[in-house]
Amino acid sequence: MAMTDSHHRFEFQRLHGMGEEVHEVARKKFGYHCRIYAPVGAREDLLAYLVRRILENGANSSFLNQLVDTDIPVGEVASDPIEKVRELRHSIPNPSVRKPSNIFGDSRTNSKGIDLADVNAMKALYGEMEQYRNSEWHAGRSDLVSDPNNPTEVICNPDTPTNPSRHGCSN
C-alpha cells in the first residue's frame, strides 16, 4: 500500500458482516476503496461458505487475530509473503501431488482446460480455432459399440429405433 502512488489502483473487499473495523480504518484513515460483498447462492452453499470464513477469521493464525494480539511483533504480522514462499521453496512442489496434466497417471494426459473468463485465453482459443473455420466433418452411424471397460460386451446402438436395447443396455 505504501508503494503505490494512487489509492484508486486497487480496492479492499470484505464480506458483509465481517471485518468492519479493519476496513473502516483502511477507508477512513488511508482513503482506500473498500467494497462490501455478499455471497449469492443456495442456502446450503452459503452456510458452508460462511462457516469457512468464520473459521478462517477466528483461527489464532488468522491475520485479524494476529493484528490485535500485542504479543506478536508487527514485523511478524506484516511479514513479506514472497520471503515466506522463498523459505518454503525446498518443500514446494510436493512430489506426491500430481501436476494437473498427470492426474490420470499413465492412462491418459489430462486436457489443458481453458479459463473461459480470461480474455487473453479466449483470444488464443479463437485464434487456434480460426484454421478450422471452413472445415467440415461428417459423422457416420455405428451399429455396435463395445463397452470400454468390458470389450466383449456389446452395447447396442441407441439411435436404432427397432433395437429393444435402445437406451444403451447390452444385448
Cβ–Cβ under 8 Å, residues 15 and 37: yes
Per-residue pLDDT of 11-23, as tens digits, reads 778 887 777 887 8
Confidence check: pLDDT of 101 > 70 = yes
In the chain, the number of structural domains is 1
Say if 144 falls within a structural domain.
no
Say if 91 falls within a structural domain.
no
| 65 burial via Cβ count (<10 Å: 0-12, 13-18, 19+) | middle
Say if 29 falls within a structural domain.
yes
Q: Quick one: which of 25, 47, 46, 27 has its CA closest to 35?
A: 27
Average pLDDT for 106-125: 90
Say if 136 falls within a structural domain.
no
Structural domain for 12, as ranges: 7-38
Average pLDDT for 157-168: 53
Confidence check: pLDDT of 126 > 50 = yes
Say if 134 falls within a structural domain.
no
Confidence check: pLDDT of 153 > 80 = no
Per cent of the chain over pLDDT 90 is 12
**Residue in the structure block whose three cell numbers are 522463498:** 86
Q: Would you report the helix, strand and coil content of the chain in percent, each value rounded to 5?
A: 35, 15, 50
pLDDT value of residue 57: 67
Cβ–Cβ under 8 Å, residues 147 and 170: yes
pLDDT value of residue 3: 53
Say if 26 falls within a structural domain.
yes
pLDDT value of residue 143: 61
Say if 14 falls within a structural domain.
yes
Gap between the Cα atoms of 71 and 135, Å rounded: 68
Q: Is the whole-model pTM more than 0.75?
A: no
Gap between the Cα atoms of 171 and 158, Å rounded: 12
Say if 89 falls within a structural domain.
no
Residue 107 DSSP class:
S
Confidence check: pLDDT of 1 > 60 = no
